[in-house]
Amino acid sequence: MARRALITGITGQDGSYLAEYLLGQGYEVWGLARGQANPRVSRLRKLLADVQVVRGDLLDQGSLISAVERVQPDEVYNLGAISFVPMSWEQAELTAEVTGMGVLRMLEAIRVCSGVSRGSAASGQIRFYQASSSEMFGQVSETPQTERTAFHPRSPYGVAKAYGHFLTQNYRESYGMYAVSGILFNHESPRRGAEFVTRKVSLGVARIKLGLDTELRLGNLEARRDWGFAGDYVRAMHLMLQAGTPEDYVIGTGRMKSVRELVQAAFAAASLDWEQYVVTDQALHRPAEVDLLCADPKKAQVQLGWEPTMPFDELVATMVEADLRLLSNGGDPDQDSSWP
């Protein structure tokens, strides 16, 4: 019988790549989607008709229990979150509820449905993946960051992720559950939300190239990130749940670029000079910035055999080309209508 996966955050960037990957591996894939008429579900269905949808919300414990009872998954991937860092200052409580407490609710749903209690053997159990984040490192104490680097989160989002991370570890230790966290560094693709800097830049470049805009307004150009391709990172999530022992892993490329270098690469991909178009705006700076993030993914490379495949320049050029195609064909990224 096909193995069954339940993915929260199915309508997001990673949900789509993970679903695509697992379907290719022969899984029966179920996605948890919220709301009574979520337009992002039809976008997903257009791309991946074989994904089955179960309604539920990380804010609603009962809905998660019902989803686990209905799907009877072998593996649960908890990707659902308020994931945009600036929003976490504007809606800190909601971020804590979804991104932090949502992890507790999902773990409880699994624990209750598989009859796990303190001291009971948790064999044959549902395996759980938590989408932890390099944002937990925040003001970094060392570079590159490993599984042992201390956390110093710099946003309500980072704090909520740290709660989910420690809770996942705690359920593993308290109940013997197969529960792991992937500490993923920034990963991007043509399906990235338009609010994140890589996609904001690739869309901005495409608009300027097509004569639809004359400038691109950005915040801090000096921040540095370790950017990889989302398609590579979902393979790592799956590998973590196939390992003999449940452990946490850092996933990233080990290479750091600044926002300025991202901008240069994106404009160069469209044969444009970025300095003619980019305007910096103090209003887009954050109350507390994460200045740099850079992964040391050695553990994942050695123990899981995981490697990233797409270099930074290729990733940026791919995103710019995809957005040029999207806008040239009359697509509207704000309407969630089309996904490459």
Q: Which residues are identified as catalytic?
A: 133, 135, 157
Residue type (1 letter), 276:
Q
Nearer to ligand NAP, 4 or 192 (CB): 192
Nearer to ligand NAP, 34 or 200 (CB): 34
Q: Which does 66 bind (CB under 5 to 8 A by kind): ligand NAP, ligand GDD, none?
A: none
Site string for ligand GDD, 255-294 (x = CB under 6 A): ----x------------------------x-x--xx--x-
- Which residues are CB-contacts of 241 (< 8 A; sequence separation ≥ 6)? 75, 77, 127, 129, 178, 180
* Other Cβ atoms closer than 10 A to 108: 15
How do beta strands 224-225 and 257-258 pair? Answer: antiparallel
Query: Are the CB atoms for 216 and 279 separated by under 8 Å?
Result: yes
297 binds ligand NAP (CB under 6 A): no
Find the length of the chain.
340
The closest residue (CB) to ligand NAP is 12
Burial class (CB in 10 A: 0-12, 13-18, 19+), 152: middle
Site string for ligand NAP, 77-116 (x = CB under 6 A): --xxxxx--------------x------------------
187 binds ligand NAP (CB under 6 A): yes
Q: Select from 159, 218, 265, 269 the one that contacts ligand GDD (CB under 6 A).
A: 218
What is the rounded distance in angstroms from the CA atom of residue 165 to the CA atom of residue 131? Answer: 8
Q: Select from 54, 58, 64, 262 the one that contacts ligand NAP (CB under 6 A).
A: 58
196 binds ligand GDD (CB under 6 A): yes
- Which residues are CB-contacts of 302 (< 8 A; sequence separation ≥ 6)? none
What is the rounded distance in angstroms from the CA atom of residue 124 to the CA atom of residue 128? Answer: 12
Residue 14 Cβ vs ligand NAP, minimum distance, rounded to whole Å: 3
Q: Indicate the Cα dihedral angle 264, 267, 269, 270, nearest 10°.
A: -170
Among 52-60, 104-112, 129-137, 175-183, the segment contacting ligand GDD (CB under 6 A): 129-137
174 binds ligand GDD (CB under 6 A): no
What is the rounded distance in angstroms from the CA atom of residue 34 to the CA atom of residue 306? Answer: 32
Q: Select from 88, 155, 168, 186 the one that contacts ligand NAP (CB under 6 A).
A: 186
Residue 43 Cβ vs ligand NAP, minimum distance, rounded to whole Å: 9
158 binds ligand NAP (CB under 6 A): no
What is the rounded distance in angstroms from the CA atom of residue 113 to the CA atom of residue 65? Answer: 7
What is the rounded distance in angstroms from the CA atom of residue 182 to the CA atom of residue 247? Answer: 9
Residues that bind ligand NAP in the complex, under the rule CB under 6 A? 8-15, 34-35, 38, 40, 57-59, 79-83, 98, 131, 133, 184, 186-187, 193
